[in-house]
Homo-oligomer: A and B are copies of this chain.
Amino acid sequence: MADATEPTQTPATIPPEGGDAPKEPSKSELKKRAKEAEKAKKAAEKAAKQAELEAQKAAAEVDFATELYGKLPLNQSQSRPRRTHTQIATLTPEMDGTPVLIRARVQTSRMQGSKMVFFNLRQRTESVQALLIVAPGKVSKQMAKWAGGLSMESIVLVEGTVKKAPEIIKNATIGNVEIHISQIHLVSGIEGVLPFNVEDATRPDAEIEANEEVQFKRVLLDTRLNNRVIDLRTQTNQAVFKLQHAIGGLFREYLEGQGFTEIHSPKLQAAATESGASVFKVNYFKGNAFLAQSPQLAKQMAIAADFERVYEIGPVFRAEDSNTHRHMTEFIGLDLEMAIEEHYHEVMELLDGLFLHMFRSLRQKYSREIEAVRRQFPADEFKWRDGPEGTLKLSFREAVDLLVEDGVPREKLDDIDTENEKRLGRLVRAKYDTDYFIIDKFPMALRPFYTMPDPEDPTLSNSYDFFMRGEEILSGAQRVHDPTLLAEGMRAKGIDPASMSSYLDAFKMGCPPHGGGGIGLERVLMLFLKLNNIRRASLFPRDPKRLEP
C-alpha cells in the first residue's frame, strides 16, 4: 500500500497541450446527436430503474440467501439487539397504533391486485391477519410480490403496527385486530413440497361433507402420522397437547397435595414379569433384559421401602400385536400406589377425587383449548356427577345385571368385553346421566396374581376399574402384601415365585397393606375430547406397524 505522504499522480484528465480545435457540426449531425442523446438518456433511465428494482429484490431475498449459507444474524446469534417479540395471543384492539415485532408461521398469503398482500399468521392455537401494502419509499412492488409468493408454513419475522380491525376477521382467532406490516424477513423457508396444508388438516369432516362441490382435501390419519411434525401444527393439535400437558400437571398437583412422592423406576428389567407374553426383549450386553409393562412391581417395592405414597409418570411398554383404536405399544402411565390405613376404598376414593379435580380444572381453566379441539372434533360435552350424590359406583355384579336387563346373555358376562363396556357406558349414561363411573369388586379370576381377594368371598377381589365414555381408563386394586399369599397367587397363575424373588423379598421384610392404580394418559385425553383414536392423543405414536417418526 502507498505511503500516505507520497505525492499524488498528476490527473490524466488535463487536455494535452496543443492539437486541433473542434469543427462546427452540421444541422443534420446535430439532430442525429440529439436523438442519440435522448435514446441514451432513456436507456440510462431504464437501466437505473432496473438496477433499483434488482436492488430491492435482492434486499428482500437476502435473508433467505444468507440463511442458506449460515450468515444470518437471526439464526446464528451474531447479534443480540434484545428487541421484544409479541405473542399473537396477547394482541387486543386497545393496542391500536402500537408497533410490534412478531415471529409466526405463514398459514396463508394472498396477493390482492399488485399492491396488497394478505397474510394469515399463526402461532400455536392463535392466528391474526396481517397486511403488506405497497408504499413509495417504504414497500416496493417487488417486495410485495416476493412476500405474496412466500410458501405456506414459512416462518417470518414481521415488523408492523397493530390496527383495530374495521370488522371482525373470521379466519383469525384474534379477529378484532390486524397487523400493518412495514418490514418482513424470512426466518425459515420450505424446502420441497408440503405433504398437506395445515388448513386442510384443521378442517372438520362435517365441513368437508357439507361442501362437496368445493372438494376440500381430506387428510387421512396415516398421512398425518407419517408427517406428524406438520400435523401437530394444526390449532387442534396444539390445543390437544396443551391439554395433555394439563392432565399430567393436574395429576401431579392433586397428588402433591395428598403427600405423594414422585419416583422414577427402571424400565429395564431382568425378568419378563407380570404376564410374560406381552413384554419386549432387549439385547443387554451379553444377556437380555425386558421392558417394564408398568411400574407395578417397583412402586409396590417403594411402599415396602416406606415411601408411603408414590406416583410415577413414565412410559410403559406393551408388546401386544394389536392395532385397535385404543392400543399402542408405548404409552404414558400415570401410576400411583399408597399405603392403606383401614380399607382399600381409601385408595379408590382418592383416585375418584383425582379425576374430579382433573375434570373440574380442565373445564374451568382450559375451555379455550377444549373449544379449539371441538371445532374439528365435535363431541357431546363430557359429563360427570358433581353433586352431593358423588360418583356412580357399581359393583361388577350390578354392572352385569344392567347388561343382562338390556338383553346380553348372562353366560357371556364372566368378563365384560370391550363391546359390552361400550354398551354399559351407553346404559349408564341413559340411566344415570354420567360419562364417568367406577366398577368395584371384580372377580378374582379376572385380575393379576398380586390382587387382594375379598375377605368375605374369595371369588371376588378388592379391585376396581374406572370408565370414561364406556372405556376403561384406570385399573387398580388393593395388592397382596403377605409374601405367603403372594407366592400362592403366583403359583396359581403359573408363575414361579423364584423368578420374582427380589419382588417377593420386599414383602418378606415387612410391608404395609397398600393399593393403587394405573391410568393411561392418552386414553384420558382421547376420551375426554372424544378424539376416537388414541394415536391422536400421542405426540409420536407407536404401534406394531409404526416406529416413525
Contacts and interface: CB of A to CB of B under 8 A. Distances in A.
Interface of A: 67-68, 70-71, 73-83, 85, 103, 105, 122-124, 153-155, 187-192, 194, 227-230, 232-233, 238, 241-242, 244-245, 248-249, 252, 256, 261-270, 280-285, 289, 291, 298, 301-302, 304-308, 313-315, 317, 319, 321, 329-330, 332, 339-345, 452-453, 455-456, 462, 478, 481-485, 502-503, 505-506, 508-513, 521, 538-542, 544, 547-549
B308 A270 contact: no
B229 A342 contact: no
Nearest to A289: B547
B105 A502 contact: no
A454 to B, nearest CB: 8
Contacts of A283: 280-282
Contacts of A301: 228-229, 540, 549
B511 A232 contact: no
B75 A191 contact: no
Nearest to A287: B547
Contact of A298 (B71, B241, B540): B540
Contacts of A245: 261-263
B315 A85 contact: no
Contacts of A541: 266
Nearest to A280: B282
A362 to B, nearest CB: 15
A478 B80 CA distance: 15
**How many protomers of this protein does the assembly include?**
2
Contact of A508 (B190, B306, B315, B539): B190
A509 B153 contact: yes
A32 B73 CA distance: 121
Contacts of A330: 266-268
A452 B521 CA distance: 35
Contact of A285 (B284, B285, B321, B483): B321
B305 A544 contact: no
A267 B318 CA distance: 13
Nearest to A191: B508
Of A82, A194, A267, A510, chain B has the most CB atoms within 10 Å of the CB of A510
A194 B344 CA distance: 29
A129 to B, nearest CB: 19
B281 A75 contact: no
A266 B543 CA distance: 11
Given A262-B248, A283-B280, A510 B345 contact: no
Contacts of A289: 280, 547
Contacts of A70: 453, 455, 482, 485
Contacts of A513: 74-77, 187-188
A242 B264 contact: no
A125 to B, nearest CB: 10
Contacts of A252: 252
29 contacts: A70-B453, A74-B513, A80-B342, A105-B306, A123-B308, A124-B306, A124-B307, A188-B481, A190-B509, A191-B508, A191-B509, A227-B505, A230-B509, A232-B302, A233-B305, A241-B307, A244-B264, A245-B261, A263-B539, A266-B539, A266-B542, A268-B329, A268-B330, A268-B542, A280-B282, A282-B282, A298-B540, A313-B313, A315-B315
